[in-house]
Amino acid sequence: MWISVTKSAGAGSLRGRLAGGDATQGIEAQTLANLYLALDADLEVIPVVNKIDLPSARPAEVRQDISNLLGTPTEEVICISAKDGTNVEAVLEAVVQQVPPPKATRRRRCKR
């Protein structure tokens, strides 16, 4: 799962990404590829595990895998269910706290 946190038509405005795995499938090849692109671009990465509401979910296992991959403590990997809203507020708070605002220039000012 990869979701742009800040995006606009201007190049270089992307400041952060939500990165994570599906609690039923774990970390997939596409996740790894996008993670490396985000890290190369020096983006802020917020780790999440989604679909924790499904019966076949393995959130603790996938959370540990993401933690090992990113080298972050497991408690920093947010387990969520976008479907039922579990911990979505924690993701929004992480975005506000961790992702820097877009940079304004004289030519291109931030819009409100």
47-79 residue pLDDT tens: 999 999 999 999 999 999 999 999 999 999 999
pLDDT digits (tens, 9 = 90+) for 21-42: 899 999 998 888 888 888 888 8
Question: Higher pLDDT residue, 6 or 33?
Answer: 33
Taking the C-alpha atoms of residue 44 and residue 65, their distance in angstroms, rounded to an integer, is 19
Contact at 8 Å (CB) between 1 and 18?
yes
What is the pTM (predicted TM-score) of this model?
Answer: 0.78
Nearest to 46 by CA among 101, 96, 11: 96
CA–CA distance, 34 with 95 (Å, rounded to integer): 18
Crossing angle of helices 59-70/29-40, nearest 10°? 30
